[in-house]
Structure 1
Amino acid sequence: MPSEQALILVLNCGSSSIKFAVFAANEPQSPRALHSGKVQGIGSAKPLLDESGAASALLVLDSEHPYRSALTLILERVAARLNGARLVCVAHRVVHGGNRYFAPTVLNSKVLADLHELVPLAPLHQPFALDAVQILLREQADLLQVACFDTAFHHHLPKVEQMLALPHEWFERGVRRYGFHGLSYEYMASVLPGRHGERASGRVIVAHLGSGASLCALQNLQSVATTMGFSALDGLMMGTRPGALDAGVVLYLLENEKLSVKQVERLLYQQSGLLGVSGISPEVRVLLEQEAENEHAGEALLLYIRRIVREIGAMVAVLGGLDMLVFTAGVGENSAEIRRRICAQLGFLPIALDETANQQNAPLISAPDSGVKVAVERTNEEWIAARHALQFYR
């Protein structure tokens, strides 16, 4: 990295992985990271480090504190590449800001305490991001840290989209629909007009399909509806989460099956979704490979597609039509077969794919005569977080 340069480190922390990226503070318009990578499999027997420009490397982490060990390793790897440059800020992707934090916020002990109260609403991500903040506050107290919230992009949803059909007092106490994957959707809103012109400002649905999954309806590049709600459990079927679920099921599990609250939480966050239905894997790629021989793998994929198509149909109704459908995140960007199956059931819109372009994961995969433009766009949540952090550094 060039010497005398000010750098921003972005951390995206999950329960078993930490993604990181380094950006130049003097180039806020460049989405290209100077360096990036991921530590995955934290807590497993074989954690791996993937870095840009290097082969995957097997790691040895502290068995008692593997997460802290992984974070320390990332900081050491970044420091080794500084070459006289200065790390001036760390930007954290924080999944839930609740009804108090809906703009990028400088992190301190008070903010950290507030955000800890939201851990039950995003247990796969929130506690790990906050652990990273706490470690850095303790070890590098003078380093500027900024929280960038996944809920923020949806803050201006129409009130009818925020409301739940509960007594109004609960809405006032913060029990409402928030929406997530906001950094990803904000990135889409920033780049789609340059790629696709005026249509991108029309009636657009973005499908963020990864291990977590959601849809966002955009109009005039603003979020007007989304599938995730109060927590990151709602909406689409995901890798290990069920998505929308009759609340009566939870009551039944608690009252009749006598599951504890912790057992229900583990079921909903870690044992359901594609993994639960298939009994094999939370990964679409694995299930596609096995569906011909395994009935449950096929059933999981069938339900996964059905839920996506159903929710797209509901959003088309809210938008009053559709001009553009955009696929992003790990599955959306890389699985031509999943995109094909989804679009095959949306032909009534009308949607028609260019099969060659789809197989190539091309930026535009719809056929010339398709009534709805279909695009594939690689997301860049880290760059959005870095841009937000700049306002505090400057």
Structure 2
Amino acid sequence: MIRILVTTMAGLLLSCGATTAQSPFELDPIATLDRPWAMTALPQGGFLVTEKAGRLVYVSATGEKQTIAGAPAVNDSGQVGLHDVALAPDFASSGIVYLTWVEGSGGGALRLGRGRLDLNASALNGFREIWRAEPTGGRGHPGAMIAFGPDGHLFLSSGDRQQGSPAQDISDSRGKILRLNTDGTPASGNPFSEAPDVWTLGHRNPYGLVFDESGRLWSHEMGPRGGDELNLITEGQNYGWPLVSEGEQYSGQAIPAHATRPEFTPPLIDWTPIIAPAGMIFYTGAAFPDWRGSLLLGGLASQALVRVEINANSAREVDRWELDNRIRDVAADNAGHVYVLEDGEDARLLRVVRGE
């Protein structure tokens, strides 16, 4: 096995005030995939990985790959295709796996579905759609991330698809974080009677979604031109997009900052220059004890693994390890080992190993 040494420039000051780590770690390549988007570690070992073109792939702990039949047909274009993969909270007994994808013409609709995994038969049996975004369409990032709350409900991020205004339209599921039952129906007790599946609104493309050990929900999203955000998600709150942002329009036109509109919930971290945050986990493992209680984020533009310390109502970036490749997702297995997934063709799934 070829081990890759990761080096950093110790003491380099980052835009958010953090410094790069003083100790390098190494990366063990496990497998190579074609335009992977998301991964999840299986309790028995190995991973399920989505590839943007519409393939669901099982990767063993030693790198053997097999395609899992039964994944949905997708619209593989631009920023859309097959997206997140998540295990049901009762996966050990049910075998249920959830996927998100975009399908259909005119930009298509974000969809959520589930089926039962049979690894012996390399199949996802009985897969069916259980939710879709309404109205459909758009041309940008769909969000499409899944997280299960402590109460067992399914939280789903839905991007604004570069349309802007849907994020403030409560009747439009784009630009929202949704709270659903595990069968895709609206969960009871959500804050908006006129939109029974909506939990929060005013999001651009919430692309990281994870609960911490206290049951708090965290999300990050990419800003338009600057202004990437890390948000603490609170029931019923409006996070302001597109009326406020810490970035600016791609044209260079200014957008009012959150401070100008106190009715909107501001991010706890904003990044300019951007890091283009991708997959995110809350780390509780034993393999890296000094990382416990932190968020670990993949960075696309920053080509990095980013560690963020979180507290009751604050967060700060404390480490950024440059990996020289766009990082699409991060995962941890039951033993606390950390893995990163590169972006693009011939992208590698890599295990993070503490340096000697």
Does the TM-score normalized on the shorter chain lie above 0.5? no
Q: Normalized against structure 1, the TM-score is what?
A: 0.29
Which of the pair has more CA radius of gyration? 1
Q: Which has the higher strand share?
A: 2
Q: Normalized against structure 2, the TM-score is what?
A: 0.31
